[in-house]
Amino acid sequence: MKKIAVLTSGGDAPGMNAAVRAIVRKGIYEGFEVYGINYGFAGLVSGDIRKLGIHDVSDIVGRGGTFLYSARYPEFAKEEGQLKGIEQLKKYGIDSLVVIGGDGSYKGAVALAKHGFPTVGIPGTIDNDIAGTDFTIGFDTAINTVLEALDRIRDTATSHVRTFIVEVMGRNAGDIALWAGVGSGAEQIIIPEHRFDIDKIVSEIEAGRNRGKKHTIIVLAEGVMSGEKFGKLLQEKDPNYQTRISVLGHMQRGGAPTARDRVLASLMGAKAIDLLKKDIGGVCVGIQHGEITYGNIIETLENNKHTPALNLYQLNKEISY
């Protein structure tokens, strides 16, 4: 009988539970034995491993966070930790592993694949910054959360005729800022992938004010700089600006996953089982042009880079000014 394990690693993302549920349920459906590893790679190395049954994943499809817990564990970059992890898996007779997580977690999965241990990566992060997929699990929920916050902030911005700088997460990627910015009609979106010109921004805000615009929302991706620093840049240009800074922080990461994230997670989890059933390891799952896909995880990470939908940046310039 095939024995597989699953772990969630790095920053939690809404929909991770739905992915684990799909792996456990479909795995058992296919006749596998499925194990859960607590606290990501940290739990792998320490051997925090338990067998999961179909009831262990009851009622989690709609819950945010990860019931397997997560951890950032940079120590897994060292070969010693990787070999210890493989040793733990072998102790339980586990022959393959599914890793759900973001950039750092994929690096751990690649290391295991390079050691010849069959591993499948599933992209789970709110940042949407993983190569080999158009969307990651958790991104849709996060942008909807940000969107709601932006709609609320707009009310206050209008009432007080203020400029708001809203700093959003995304690590080095601008996807959250782009999608939530376009969806909320933000006047300015500042992302790491596109250079910004502070003088141009100031003159665009002025032009809007002169046309009678009451509010200005600037959505700033954290990968560019902090909201505070950006606020100082604006104030240097015009000390009279009524500027307020809002840092959305970790509220962007929690909460019940959207239908889209739940379904994406279920499809990706099931795909991982299909691949392992065919003894295909060393791969990562994705969604590309609406199709669930997979590719060699080492090649995908080495030869591809995630790029945000920069057409959204241009679109925003054309429709929100």
Query: Could you tell me if 125 and 102 are in contact, meaning their C-beta atoms sit under 8 angstroms apart?
Result: yes
Query: Could you tell me if 199 and 237 are in contact, meaning their C-beta atoms sit under 8 angstroms apart?
Result: yes
DSSP 3-state of 80: helix
Catalytic residue selected from 12, 95, 127, 129: 127
User: Closer to ligand F6P at the Cβ: 86 or 99?
Assistant: 99
Q: Is 258 in the site for ligand F6P (CB under 6 A)?
A: no
Site string for ligand F6P, 46-65 (x = CB under 6 A): --------------------
In the residue annotation, 274 being an active-site residue is answered as no
195 in a known ligand binding site: no
Site string for ligand F6P, 203-222 (x = CB under 6 A): -------------------x
Region from 91-99, 166-174, 262-270, 292-300 binding ligand F6P, contact rule CB under 6 A: 166-174
Q: Least distance in Å: CB of 302 to ligand F6P?
A: 21
Q: Measure Cα distances from 284 to 59, 224, 295 in Å.
A: 27, 29, 6
Query: Could you tell me if 108 and 47 are in contact, meaning their C-beta atoms sit under 8 angstroms apart?
Result: no
Q: Is 248 in the site for ligand F6P (CB under 6 A)?
A: no
Q: 65-84: which residues touch ligand F6P (CB under 6 A)?
A: 72
DSSP state of 158: H
User: Closer to ligand F6P at the Cβ: 202 or 256?
Assistant: 256
User: Residue 270: which residues within 8 A CB-CB, separation 6 or more?
Assistant: 22, 23, 26
Q: Is 306 in the site for ligand F6P (CB under 6 A)?
A: no
Measured distance CA(65)–CA(257) in Å, rounded:
9
Q: Least distance in Å: CB of 199 to ligand F6P?
A: 29
Strands 283-288 and 291-296: antiparallel
Measured distance CA(247)–CA(157) in Å, rounded:
15
148 in a known ligand binding site: no
Q: Is 171 in the site for ligand F6P (CB under 6 A)?
A: yes
User: Closer to ligand F6P at the Cβ: 26 or 107?
Assistant: 107
Backbone angles phi, psi at 60, to 5 degrees: -110, -5
**Burial environment of residue 166 by CB neighbours within 10 A (0 to 12, 13 to 18, 19 or more):** buried
Query: Which of 4, 7, 11, 121 is close enough to bind ligand F6P by CB under 6 A?
Result: 11
User: Closer to ligand F6P at the Cβ: 67 or 241?
Assistant: 67
How many distinct helices (H) and strands (E) make up the chain? Answer: 11, 11
User: Residue 260: which residues within 8 A CB-CB, separation 6 or more?
Assistant: 140
Region from 74-82, 167-175, 269-277, 278-286 binding ligand F6P, contact rule CB under 6 A: 167-175
282 in a known ligand binding site: no
137: tokens are 């699990």
Query: Which of 33, 127, 187, 261 is close enough to bind ligand F6P by CB under 6 A?
Result: 127
Query: Could you tell me if 166 and 153 are in contact, meaning their C-beta atoms sit under 8 angstroms apart?
Result: yes
Binding site for ligand F6P (CB under 6 A): 11, 72, 102, 125-127, 169-171, 222, 253
Annotated binding site for ATP: 11, 72-73, 102-105
Q: Annotated catalytic sites, by residue?
A: 127
